[in-house]
Structure 1
Amino acid sequence: MSNNSILLKIEQNVAYITLNRPEVFNSFNREMALQLQSILDDCESNNAVRAIVLSGNGKAFCAGQDLKEVTDPDLNPGFKKILEEHYNPIITRIRSIKKPIIGAINGVAAGAGANIALACDIVVAHEKVSFIQAFSLIGLVPDSAGTFFLPRLIGFQKALALAMLGDKVSAEEAERLGMIYKMIPFESFEDEVEKLALKLANMPTKALGMIKELFNQSMTNDLESQLALESKFQIEAAQSEDYREGVAAFIEKRKPNFKGR
């Protein structure tokens, strides 16, 4: 499936979603934002999809908002609509989909693009990538949950400094800080992303979705609430087909064949 601003390919239970406005470094306009939401919804409901990879076409992952759109009086939807109808729904979809989402960061991730990347479940980037909280450089504040995820990933002081100063962070530094899962050599990036995606697609999808939700809730739960939720989900996981298959494979000393059920 393809259109002007988003590409979608589904292979071996992996949905590869590619931001496809390389001429503007994959910056978002309204059409692209709404299409991404629609494709994420389709991937969530498609039982053939058990893992998702989000990446960009060309030299950038995403440069954030297309500033031409917001400075064109005929096109500008206004920041209220941009946030409430574009970016906030994208972030909530990424976090709520009960399937693992890999942010495969193939180039610069700036502004909202950086924060969409950081909202993914597992974020990898090649050695030439950089992340920039570019908002303050044009007189804006971080959005797309940057002020939520970044301090939780790397700590309050470092996150606040990056948000205020707009410093460029290399992939190597991002890994060191815990901002991303792993930096991958440029030459092997696509192969390593595919291996990671296939590994996730062949794991017990239902359990991965529960793990994701547990980590989501841990952002705001107290200890007692989190323990109760772990118990609830563990009981549910223990009733799944994948759990029975995992135990049988362990006992029989063979590789499990998970179905995501």
Structure 2
Amino acid sequence: MMSEHEAGPVLFSVEAGVGIITLNRPDVGNSMNLALMQQLQAAVGRCFTDPAIRAVLLTGRGKLFSGGGDLQEFNDQTDLAAYLRGMTHALHNSISLLLRMNKPVIAAV
């Protein structure tokens, strides 16, 4: 297994041609924040562009795949609108790449 990211809100590795993307905030139910969205976008982008990656597995650590948005982090923002724009931009880009990817994408939830 080749490990790209071993810590942070998203783990990414490649094993036998499969890009493995793992949401890694199990202590908060893998709830989404800006850092998670940005790292998810980077991992999905790598899977999209790397011809050695022939399939993608998307999963989450812990009991939940994802509990949605991180409401506590939203509450802590001084400019919530800008924060949410950054999150939705990264999420939209990730979903767009996943939809256009000519590789199998499996969500293990």
- The two structures have a TM-score, normalised by structure 2, of 0.85
CA distance in structure 2 between the aligned counterparts of 1:89 and 1:32, rounded to whole angstroms: 13
Structure 2 residue aligned with 1:202: none
Letter in 2 for 1:82: M
Aligned match for 1:82, one of 87, 91, 95: 87
Structure 1 residue aligned with 2:100: 96
Q: Do 2:13 and 2:21's aligned partners in 1 also have CA atoms closer than 8 Å?
A: yes
- Change in 2 beyond 3 A, CA 1:79/1:5: closer
Name the structure with the higher strand share: 2
CA distance in structure 2 between the aligned counterparts of 1:40 and 1:86, rounded to whole angstroms: 11
Letter in 1 for 2:44: L
Letter in 2 for 1:16: I
SS at match of 1:103: strand
Deviation, 1:80, is 3.6
Deviations 1:205-244 (A, max 9, x none): xxxxxxxxxxxxxxxxxxxxxxxxxxxxxxxxxxxxxxxx
Structure 1 residue aligned with 2:12: 8
Q: Do 1:25 and 1:63's aligned partners in 2 also have CA atoms closer than 8 Å?
A: yes
Q: Do 1:28 and 1:65's aligned partners in 2 also have CA atoms closer than 8 Å?
A: yes
Deviation, 1:78, is 4.1
Higher relative contact order (CA 8 A, sep 6+): 2
CA distance in structure 2 between the aligned counterparts of 1:82 and 1:12, rounded to whole angstroms: 31
Deviations 1:71-106 (A, max 9, x none): 1134734434432x132222111101221100111x
Structure 2 residue aligned with 1:19: 23
Aligned match for 2:56, one of 52, 65, 70: 52
Q: How many residues align?
A: 104
Aligned match for 2:40, one of 30, 36, 40: 36
Q: Do 1:8 and 1:17's aligned partners in 2 also have CA atoms closer than 8 Å?
A: yes
Deviation, 1:12, is 1.0
Q: Which has the larger radius of gyration?
A: 1
How large is the Cα RMSD of the aligned pairs?
1.6
Q: Do 2:45 and 2:94's aligned partners in 1 also have CA atoms closer than 8 Å?
A: no
Q: Do 1:14 and 1:51's aligned partners in 2 also have CA atoms closer than 8 Å?
A: yes
Aligned match for 2:69, one of 50, 62, 65: 65
Q: Do 1:6 and 1:35's aligned partners in 2 also have CA atoms closer than 8 Å?
A: yes
- Change in 2 beyond 3 A, CA 1:75/1:21: farther
Q: What are the ranges of 5 or more consecutive residues in structure 1 without an aligned counterpart?
A: 106-261
Deviation, 1:61, is 0.2
